[in-house]
Amino acid sequence: MDQGEARMTTLVAPTPEAGSKPAQIMDAAGTLFLEHGYSAVSMDAVAKRANVSKATLYAHFGSKEELFRAMVACECANSVMAGIWDEAMRLPAADGLRLIGKTFVRFIASPKALGLYRMVLGEVLRQPQLAQAFYDSGPAETFQRAHQFMTHMVERGELAITDCDLATHQFFGLLKANMHMKLLLCLSERPGDADLERFVDAAVDLFVKGYAPEAR
């Protein structure tokens, strides 16, 4: 493992102080990555956009890969998904799933999230470590928290799931269905909030019926 790969194994603190140099740098990098793609953006361009010297840039981020990982971790830590899990755990299973589902579909259908997905997919063959960094910092965390929710609801007797890993895959599959693919490919416009809620409600109703505990 080379030095660049070693850095990718450790998350940079995802919430720099507002107005700080790391915050300026990550904001500039995020804008440039989304506008031009990862490969087309140099560290020189990031330093110029952030209005910092290259020495300052490298003092905080040792490589472009490290900067990308920090930027993604920051976006995920501050996303709407980060604040819902404690509330979802306290709700009945169906209500918790609706909260998770509606927050999730609004997030993945947002222009910024779609732009980030497209950028990573466009780089995946040339820069496979970016795909891993993106997955570890975002989707993997969401999946893990949803898996914990499923386990919690089984322990409470509200869902009868024997394989929570499989069930979590199934739930997100129901939520994304064909909608997310068409949005990624720019084949459809973002559905309105009412349509997204109707879509999520149908997915949750199907899921809770499929995993409903047997009547005693």
Termini Cα distance of the chain:
56
* pLDDT over threshold 70, residue 142: yes
Nearest to 97 by CA among 178, 167, 192, 182: 167
> Helices H, strands E: what count in the chain?
13, 0
Task: Decide if 71 contacts 26 (C-beta within 8 A).
Answer: yes
Segment 180-186 shows an average pLDDT of 94
Segment 124-132 shows an average pLDDT of 85
Q: Which CATH class is domain 79-210?
A: mainly alpha
* pLDDT over threshold 60, residue 109: yes
* pLDDT tens readout for residues 60-99: 999 988 898 888 877 777 777 878 999 999 999 999 999 9
Tell me which fold the domain 3-76 belongs to: Arc Repressor Mutant, subunit A (1.10.10)
* pLDDT tens readout for residues 9-26: 344 445 677 778 988 999
Q: Against a cut of 0.75, is the pTM above it? A: yes
Query: When comparing pLDDT for 16 and 41, which is higher?
Result: 41
Q: How far is CA 11 from CA 66, 143, 176, in A?
A: 8, 18, 27
Identical fold at 3-76 and 79-210? no
| Percent of the chain residues topping a pLDDT of 90 | 59
Domain extents in the chain: 3-76, 79-210
